[in-house]
Amino acid sequence: MLVSENAFKLWAIHPTADRYTFEGADTLVEFAEAHGMKVRGHTLLWYRYMPDWIEKATFSPEQWDQVIHEHITTVVSRYKGRVQYWDVLNEAISDGGSGALRQTNWSDGLGPDFVDKVFTWAHEADPDALLFYNDYGAEGMNRKSDRVYALVKGMLERNVPIHGVGLQLHLTEAGVPRPEEVQRNIERLAELGLQVHITELDIRLPDRASADMFETQARLYRAYLEACLAVENCTAFVMWGFTDRYSWIPSFQAGFGHALIFDAAYRQKPAYFAIRDALAPQSSKLQDFGAGCNCTP
Ligand code: G3I
């Protein structure tokens, strides 16, 4: 499965009101198809990194409906049947105690039922795509994950089309949610009938990480994978990149890096071997990875 780190984001695919730039997303989808891989489309709407034409717009409520509906319809229908999963909404719940939905220019414009609207529009554009709410810090059992649970439960009760929750898991090896708790959280979401995807796993280490830290990192990678494998409805385990050569961490978190399973020279790290070992007994359960290509599973 491939995930687009940036190509589907509104700033990348729809940088000005009258212009779509599909090249990056097209390239990624074509690569996935050539290699028998599925695609997670990340993400239709996010409170951060919106282009000025959205951030600074002064549309009427009717215009907001029209603009966001048009964006979702254009992007989702272009990749209908080719992008199997969409992160429709990314990180909509605030970190503060209230756990309220974040306020943005566009969500205020769409009104209090904006969550229901955007999922409905995505579903209308591709009824077969599975639609996800994706967030960070809501992986274990905590106030934020309670809030995510309440949000998606409410959507299901209102018959809003939502099919899954994405748990990002951007972590530092020093402070992580307990894997048993992550499993419990996955289980409660599964009991609602939802799928869960681990969507953005990476575990950053200080620049001068010790060998012990790489071992801890490996144990954690394995533990989260096992938490996912333990629950049938946890159907994808996606890392936010695979090589430390191309990772968002060093440029966003000064002094940290080494977050992925291959190092910057593409050498396997302990985390690579840890997840390989955890997958070995499961290999018969893995979907026919590589079908349609010459790759080695
Ligand atoms: O190459 C571009 C260039 O074309 C563009 O015009 C220019 C202006 O911004 O800079 C370059 O784009 C950068 C892009 O990454 C590609 O490298 C952006 O500045 C930079 O902001 C962008 O950062 C991404 C960030 O989201 C914001 O979109 C990171 O790569 C990406 O890893 C990060 O991903 C997020 C998830 O979407 C949501 N969860 C958290 C995760 C990490 O922050």
Of 98, 102, 13, the closest CA to residue 51 belongs to 13
At residue 286, the pLDDT reads 56
Of 237, 235, 210, the closest CA to residue 225 belongs to 237
Tell me, yes or no, whether 106 and 210 share the same domain.
no
At residue 281, the pLDDT reads 77
Tell me, yes or no, whether 157 and 72 share the same domain.
no
Please check whether residue 75 lies inside any domain of the structure. yes
Tell me, yes or no, whether 150 and 196 share the same domain.
yes
| Region 210-239 average pLDDT | 98
Through-space distance between the first and last CA atoms of the chain, rounded to whole angstroms: 12
Residue nearest to atom 15 of ligand 1 (CA): 6
DSSP result, the chain: -EE-SSTTSHHHH--BTTB---HHHHHHHHHHHHTT--EEEEEEEESSS--HHHHT----HHHHHHHHHHHHHHHHHHTTTT--EEEEEES-B-SSTT-PBPP-HHHHHH-TTHHHHHHHHHHHH-TTSEEEEEESS-SSSSHHHHHHHHHHHHHHHTT----EEEE--EEETTB---HHHHHHHHHHHHHTT-EEEEEEEEEEEETT--HHHHHHHHHHHHHHHHHHHTSTTEEEEEES-SBTTS-SHHHHSTTEE--SSB-TTS-B-HHHHHHHHHHGGGTTTS--TTTTS----
Tell me, yes or no, whether 108 and 142 share the same domain.
no
Rg of the Cα trace of the chain?
A: 19
Please check whether residue 172 lies inside any domain of the structure. yes
pLDDT at residue 293 above 60? no
Domain that holds residue 44: 1-91+101-131
67-78 pLDDT, tens digit each? 999 999 999 999
pTM: 0.94
Tell me, yes or no, whether 171 and 253 share the same domain.
yes
At residue 285, the pLDDT reads 54
Please check whether residue 74 lies inside any domain of the structure. yes
Tell me, yes or no, whether 23 and 126 share the same domain.
yes
Domain CATH number, residue 31: 3.20.20.80
CB distance 9 to ligand 1 below 6 Å: yes
pLDDT at residue 4 above 70? yes
The yes-or-no answer on residue 62 being catalytic is no
Tell me, yes or no, whether 111 and 192 share the same domain.
no
pLDDT at residue 22 above 60? yes
At residue 137, the pLDDT reads 96
165-194 pLDDT, tens digit each? 999 999 998 889 999 999 999 999 999 999
Which ligand 1 atom sits closest to the C-alpha of 168? 39
Tokens for 288, please give them.
Answer: 């026919």
Give 212 or 97, the one with higher predicted confidence: 212
Tell me, yes or no, whether 150 and 123 share the same domain.
no
229-250 pLDDT, tens digit each? 999 999 999 999 999 999 999 9
Residue 290's pLDDT band (boundaries 50, 70, 90)?
very low
**Average confidence score pLDDT of the chain:** 95
Say how many CA atoms lie within 13 Å of 103 toward its Cβ: 3
> How many Å lie between the centroid of ligand 1 and the Cα of residue 212?
31
Tell me, yes or no, whether 282 and 157 share the same domain.
yes
At residue 297, the pLDDT reads 39
pLDDT at residue 262 above 90? yes
At residue 127, the pLDDT reads 98
Say how many CA atoms lie within 13 Å of 190 toward its Cβ: 17
Residue nearest to atom 13 of ligand 1 (CA): 6
Please check whether residue 96 lies inside any domain of the structure. no
Which ligand 1 atom sits closest to the C-alpha of 90? 38
Residue 287's pLDDT band (boundaries 50, 70, 90)?
low
At residue 259, the pLDDT reads 98
> How many Å lie between the centroid of ligand 1 and the Cα of residue 6?
6
Please check whether residue 291 lies inside any domain of the structure. yes
| Region 120-124 average pLDDT | 99
Q: Among residues of the chain, what percentage have pLDDT more than 90? A: 92
| Region 54-65 average pLDDT | 98
> How many Å lie between the centroid of ligand 1 and the Cα of residue 294?
32
Tell me, yes or no, whether 65 and 44 share the same domain.
yes
32-46 pLDDT, tens digit each? 999 999 999 999 999
Tell me, yes or no, whether 64 and 77 share the same domain.
yes
Query: Looking at the 3D structure of the chain, how many domains does it have?
Result: 2
pLDDT at residue 292 above 70? no
Which ligand 1 atom sits closest to the C-alpha of 136? 39
